[in-house]
């Protein structure tokens, strides 16, 4: 049994722990994916000396919050010195995942009124 499987086993017993576990795993996975995307864009690994100081390098990051089915996650989006890097992992200006939109469409197609959907979303997300 791998370490990841052992980490998954404990939260499966409690739903709130499982949601928290999935939220943190999703957050870490997205951070690593965005860093890999910047590495592919720049063409060299972090701290690599061979392509260092050629005019475009890593230049910190900024945080972005996204609402998911597991809760609010804080994603660290990297940037480059020239500002040419545009990540493709998260939709631009999106603050929610597609699960909310698909849920609303499914509810509406099954005959739930827009007022009931609005009340449900307000209870779930607070706005």
Instruction: Note whether 49 and 106 are same-domain residues.
Output: no
Q: How much is the pLDDT for 9?
A: 65
Q: How much is the pLDDT for 19?
A: 78
Phi, psi of 124 (to 5 degrees): -75, -45
DSSP 8-state assignment for residue 71: E
CA atoms 58, 59, 60, 65: torsion sign: negative
**For residue 127, pLDDT beyond 60:** no
Domain containing residue 86 = 3-92
Number of domains in the chain: 2
CA distance 21 to 4: 11
Query: What is the tens place of the pLDDT at every residue in 95-118?
Result: 665 666 677 777 777 887 777 877
**For residue 6, pLDDT beyond 70:** no
pTM above 0.85, yes or no: no
Instruction: Note whether 84 and 103 are same-domain residues.
Output: no
CA distance 78 to 86: 9
- Whether 104 and 121 have beta carbons less than 8 Å apart is answered as yes
Instruction: Note whether 117 and 79 are same-domain residues.
Output: no
Instruction: Note whether 83 and 102 are same-domain residues.
Output: no
Start-to-end CA span in the chain (Å) = 42
**For residue 3, pLDDT beyond 80:** no
Query: What is the tens place of the pLDDT at every residue in 24-64?
Result: 888 888 888 888 888 888 888 888 777 666 778 888 899 98
Q: How much is the pLDDT for 116?
A: 80
Instruction: Note whether 35 and 86 are same-domain residues.
Output: yes
Query: What is the tens place of the pLDDT at every residue in 66-91?
Result: 888 778 889 899 988 888 888 877 77
**What is the pLDDT confidence band of residue 93, given thresholds at 50, 70 and 90?**
low
**What is the pLDDT confidence band of residue 18, given thresholds at 50, 70 and 90?**
confident
Query: What is residue 6's three-state secondary structure?
Result: helix
Q: Which of 76, 57, 54, 56 is nearest to 65 (CA)?
A: 76
């Amino acid at each position: 049994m791998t370490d990841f499987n052992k980490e998954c086993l404990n939260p499966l017993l409690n739903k709130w722990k499982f949601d928290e576990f999935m939220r943190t795993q999703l957050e870490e996975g997205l951070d690593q994916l965005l860093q890999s995307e910047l590495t592919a864009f720049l063409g060299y690994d972090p701290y690599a000396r061979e392509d260092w100081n050629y005019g475009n390098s890593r230049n910190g990051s900024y945080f972005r919050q996204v609402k998911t089915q597991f809760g609010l996650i804080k994603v660290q989006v990297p940037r480059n010195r020239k500002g040419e890097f545009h990540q493709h992992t998260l939709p631009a200006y999106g603050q929610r995942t597609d699960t909310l939109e698909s849920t609303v469409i499914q509810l509406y197609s099954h005959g739930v009124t827009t007022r009931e959907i609005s009340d449900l979303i307000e209870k779930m997300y607070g706005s």
